[in-house]
Amino acid sequence: MKDLEKKIDAVRHFNRFFTRQIGVLREGLLHSPFTLTEVRILFELAHHDRLTASDLSRELGLDPGYLSRILARFEEKGLIEKTRSETDARQRLLSLTSEGKKVFSQLDRRSREEVAEMLGSLSEGDQQRLLEAMETIERVLTRGQGFKFSEPFFLRPPESGDMGWVVHRHGVLYAREYGWNERFEALAAQIVADYMRHHDPAKERCWIAEMNGENVGCVFVMKESDAVARLRLLLVEPQARGLGLGNRLVEECIRFSRRCGYKKLVLWTNNVLKAARHIYRKNGFKLVKEEKHSQFGQDLVGETWELSL
């Protein structure tokens, strides 16, 4: 069992290293306004004819609702067009417009330039070893007959209405599960309002977790200073608990904070939130301060946790 855990940790370590190396976790892939998912969709449309939204959903493993919203934004920007299938009038075939082809061409060129720059920093021997290692990974996983990392949820940026949902669900769940009063909902509303009014896209982020077309979780990273970020409003709906979602949200906060150059990630929680505290401890946070309070209508111990990045 311990041997398996070490192997799992090694694979996850490589994933983190490689995604940082090729830059897929940067805001704005390839110095563009597009996310990794959006660039993958553009790539598929540029290289395949007569694709439908269902084809894309299956090929990329994307939630149909999430994909539909991305395609709608692409259509609004004039990047794609839909035409009726000649063989099945119910189907709409997707293709890039001339503007879409122009945008993809720029992204493709930048991608090739970045890879060329990475390879150029290596000796010929190291380049060959790298390519052989990549081929080995692909061959081994392909032999595994469909090895596929999939989770029942996916994370996305916030959309219209999501911030209201964040406040509402914090108020409902904490009142139902812990008996906290309306002052906690007011605090959640204030945090969300501050984020929306003063959001710094380069240094702050919100993730919404979605599953089966419903919001099931959220978390925020907000700037406290040039060196310190704060994790806020971690929430996982009851139906999504036990799936690793809370841990995944916290991991995203840590990765983002490191990429932004923060030196420390801090958070404030309460002693009764045992599941959240377990996640924080698991990810290396240290409890640095405790203080009794009753500001939410219950006798609680507020806790400050810190993670050195």
Between CA 41 and CA 114 the distance in angstroms is 20
Query: With bands split at pLDDT 50, 70 and 90, how would you rate the model's confidence at 88?
Result: low
What is residue 52's predicted lDDT score, i.e. its pLDDT? 86
Q: What is the pLDDT of residues 29-81, one digit of tens each?
A: 456 677 778 888 888 898 877 788 888 887 787 888 888 999 999 999 999 99
**Which residues are bridge partners to 129 per DSSP?**
none
Averaged over 260-280, what is the pLDDT?
A: 95
Please state which of the ranges 10-24, 35-49, 58-72, 160-174 shows the lowest mean pLDDT. 10-24
CATH class label, 2-143: mainly alpha
Please tell me which residue, 300 or 25, carries the higher pLDDT value.
300
What is residue 20's predicted lDDT score, i.e. its pLDDT? 64
Q: What is the pLDDT of residues 208-266, one digit of tens each?
A: 999 888 999 999 999 999 999 999 999 999 999 888 899 999 999 998 999 889 999 99
> What is the percent of the chain where pLDDT is above 70?
89
Average per-residue pLDDT in the chain?
86
Please tell me which residue, 23 or 219, carries the higher pLDDT value.
219
For residues 119 and 128, is the Cβ–Cβ distance under 8 A? Answer: no
Highest mean pLDDT among 54-68, 86-100, 147-161, 179-193: 179-193
For residues 289 and 271, is the Cβ–Cβ distance under 8 A? Answer: no
Averaged over 104-115, what is the pLDDT?
A: 83
pLDDT at 153 over 90: no
pLDDT at 24 over 60: no
Between CA 33 and CA 103 the distance in angstroms is 11
CATH superfamily entry for domain 154-308:
Gcn5-related N-acetyltransferase (GNAT) (3.40.630.30)
pLDDT at 149 over 50: no
Q: What is the pLDDT of residues 128-144, one digit of tens each?
A: 888 778 777 776 666 55
> What is the percent of the chain where pLDDT is above 90?
50
CA 251 to chain centroid: 9
Please tell me which residue, 69 or 7, carries the higher pLDDT value.
69
Averaged over 92-96, what is the pLDDT?
A: 89
All structural domains of the chain with their residue ranges: 2-143, 154-308
H-state helical runs in the chain:
2-22, 36-47, 53-60, 64-76, 98-120, 124-143, 162-178, 182-198, 245-259, 274-282
Between CA 305 and CA 222 the distance in angstroms is 15
What is residue 147's predicted lDDT score, i.e. its pLDDT? 43
Nearest to 253 by CA among 222, 274, 226, 287: 222
H-state helical runs in 81-181:
98-120, 124-143, 162-178
pLDDT at 289 over 90: yes
